[in-house]
C-alpha cells in the first residue's frame, strides 16, 4: 500500500514541551506494528532562524505504529533530499511543488 512511496510521518507528542518530530522519505517496509523508512528527521526548534532543523542526510529509521500521529503520502517525484519550508501564519509547511503544502507543525511548539 505505501511501500516504495514517499511520505511525511508526523509523530505523536507524549508530553508538554515535546518537540514535534516528522520524518520525510521513502517507505522501505511496513506492517501493523511499525514502518521502516529511508528518511530525514525534521524537528521544529526555536534555535534556528527558520524554525526548523532537518537532518543533512537520510538514514534507515524504524518507527513503531503507536508513535505515529499521521502519514501524508507525497508525490512520487518529490525530492526528499532537497527540503524547502514556508510559513502560513504560525504553521510551518513543507513545500510540495504542484500540490498542497504539507503541514509540519506550529512555530511556537519547538
First to last CA, the chain: 32
**56-95: per-residue pLDDT in tens?**
999 999 999 999 999 999 999 999 999 999 988 888 899 9
Grid coordinates given for 2: 505505501
Residue 66 to residue 47: CA distance in whole angstroms: 29
Grid coordinates given for 16: 508538554
> Among candidates 53, 63, 58, which has minimal Cα distance to 85?
53
Grid coordinates given for 22: 516528522
**93-110: per-residue pLDDT in tens?**
999 998 999 999 887 665
Question: pTM of whole model > 0.85?
Answer: yes
3-state DSSP of the chain: CCCCCEEEEEECCCCCCCCCEEEEEEEEEECCCEEEEEEEEEEECCCCCCCEEECCCCEEEEEEHHHEEEEEECCCCCCCCCCCEEEECCEEEECCCCCCCEEEEEHHHC
Q: Which residue has the cell 514502518?
A: 35
Domain ranges of the chain: 6-109
Amino acid at each position: 500500500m505505501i511501500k516504495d512511496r514517499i511520505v511525511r510521518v508526523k509523530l505523536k507528542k507524549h508530553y508538554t514541551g515535546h518537540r514535534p518530530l516528522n520524518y520525510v522519505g521513502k517507505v522501505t517496509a511496513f506492517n501493523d506494528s511499525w514502518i521502516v523508512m529511508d528518511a530525514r528527521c525534521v524537528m521544529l526548534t526555536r534555535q534556528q532562524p527558520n524554525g526548523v532543523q532537518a537532518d543533512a542526510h537520510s538514514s534507515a529509521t524504524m518507527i513503531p505504529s503507536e508513535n505515529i500521529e499521521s502519514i501524508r503520502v507525497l508525490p512520487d517525484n518529490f525530492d526528499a533530499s532537497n527540503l524547502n519550508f514556508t510559513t502560513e501564519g504560525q504553521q510551518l509547511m513543507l513545500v510540495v511543488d504542484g500540490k498542497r503544502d504539507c503541514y509540519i507543525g506550529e512555530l511556537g511548539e519547538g
